[in-house]
Amino acid sequence: MTASIVILISGRGSNMEAIVNAVSAGKIAGKVTAVIANKPDAAGLNFAKKAGIDSICVDHNQYENRESFEAALIKRIDAYQPTVVALAGFMRILTPHFINHYEGRLLNIHPSLLPAFPGLNTHRRVLEAGVKWHGCTVHFITETLDCGPIIIQAAVPVLPDDDEHLLSQRVLTMEHQIYPQAISWFVNEQLSIEKDCVRIKNDKEAQFHSYQFEQP
């Protein structure tokens, strides 16, 4: 059976685009069956619609509380019998109920080299901290925010003249490379978790893949 990939977004959706494009290019053995946003004006919904993907809004503002919003969201997601649910810039805190419902098949991309800089405004905080390397992480979601087992990371240098925008663009380029890779491994059943660490099977090169950041 073809792997069903459901992607959750809140805004621009450039990571979602990268995943959709990787599927079209045959780099992921699956199908993006739905793109679901929690905001009606999420720009990414237009791209998904044009690509012929079911594009759905479950507007969190229309629900009384987190529980009822998530119940509606789960209903829409489960209609697609997802092999994997990929959060791509989905800006809602999820309850343990939601996370447990998708245990082991819920992925997220975070714009930092976790466990450093969990939470929001990572690029600004990286610049303020003066660290020399930054990056992004794809990880399984667990109940602790930005804390689940790490699948793949990519690092980029922080350069002397960087501002938040320049740095975020450099990181984003890498996000678009590593998220499709992580989903490809997942749908090929190459990932296992041992003592909170992710092992990648049948990819001897996995530790040595290099992802090129844009030269300034």
Q: Could you give the 3-state DSSP secondary structure of residue 132?
A: coil
Tell me how far the alpha carbon of residue 138 is from its chain's centroid.
6
| Minimum distance, C-beta of residue 112 to ligand GRF, in the bound complex (Å) | 9
Given a contact cutoff of 8 angstroms between Cβ atoms, the answer to whether 34 and 53 are in contact is yes
The piece of 10-18, 73-81, 94-102, 206-214 that touches ligand GRF (CB under 6 A) is 10-18
Q: Which of 175, 177, 185, 211 is the binder for ligand GRF (CB under 6 A)?
A: 175
Q: Is residue 88 close enough to count as binding ligand GRF by CB under 6 A?
A: yes
Q: Is residue 146 close enough to count as binding ligand GRF by CB under 6 A?
A: no
Cα 10 to Cα 77, 144, 151, distances in angstroms? 15, 20, 23
How far apart are the C-alpha atoms of 174 and 198, rounded to whole Å? 20
Residue (41 or 67) nearer to ligand GRF, CB: 41
Cα 103 to Cα 50, 94, 181, 188, distances in angstroms? 31, 12, 20, 17
Q: Is residue 174 close enough to count as binding ligand GRF by CB under 6 A?
A: no
How far apart are the C-alpha atoms of 106 and 94, rounded to whole Å? 11
209 tagged catalytic: no
Q: Is residue 109 close enough to count as binding ligand GRF by CB under 6 A?
A: yes
| Minimum distance, C-beta of residue 43 to ligand GRF, in the bound complex (Å) | 8
Q: Is residue 110 close enough to count as binding ligand GRF by CB under 6 A?
A: yes
Q: Catalytic: which of 60, 97, 101, 110? A: 110
DSSP state for residue 62 in the 8-state scheme: G
Amino acid identity at 126: V
Q: Which of 30, 82, 111, 148 is the binder for ligand GRF (CB under 6 A)?
A: 111
The residues of the shown chain that bind ligand GRF, judged by CB under 6 A, are 9, 11-15, 88-89, 109-111, 136, 172, 175
